[in-house]
Amino acid sequence: MALEVKICGLKTDDAVDAALAAGADLVGFVFFPRSPRNVSLDEAVRLAAPARGRAKIVALAVDPDDALVEAIATRLAPDLLQLHGHETPERVAEIRVRTGLDLIKAIPVAEAADLAVVPAYVPHVARLLFDAKPPKTPLALPGGNGLPFDWRLVRDLDPGRPVMLSGGLDPGNVAEAIAVTGVSAVDVSSGVESAPGVKDPEKIAAFVRNARAAATSRRPADA
């Protein structure tokens, strides 16, 4: 499977244009009021319009209620819904049935024991995303904290679903992350920003370029 690159937390037309121009495979829109990358549904619908058909549209929500998931499914109609909170496997299954959307479940990782939950989610999701476990501070977000974790924990992990890697990635370390893990997709947000929520087109281009180069240089057996 060819490596895919996701640029998440887009909130301006320029940021979407930069992600598309760089060749991102997935573009993400965040629905979480505490995040500096939060957008309204109206904004997301407008921002996603030029991406539709050119990149997969991903909606990110954190422990969303039924009203929000139904609004996202109906109005934005994303290709994927990313669940980035404490959703249980049962709740994930319910959301999949309710929306009919393909789901990404984010799994926060700090140690090997954190991977024990993976098998329970596999039947209900299209992809799994491994992100750094948030620090235990009041201002920490479920994602987008710019923190990496020990990538060796997910090296060559094969849970039966495509594996995405997030957490502290940036243009300078994405090649190493790909080489270490062998994942099928990488996901970046704060690592391509000049300030929280402000995407930097040059960093986006560099991230995609470096990820592609790293994927190309992988041995055929690892690709």
Dihedral, CA of residue 39, residue 212, residue 191 and residue 65, to nearest 10:
30
Is 42 a catalytic site residue?
no
Catalytic residue among 8, 25, 79, 187: 8
Q: Is residue 150 annotated as a catalytic residue, yes or no? A: no
| Catalytic one of 79, 131, 170, 187 | 131
Catalytic residues: 8, 131
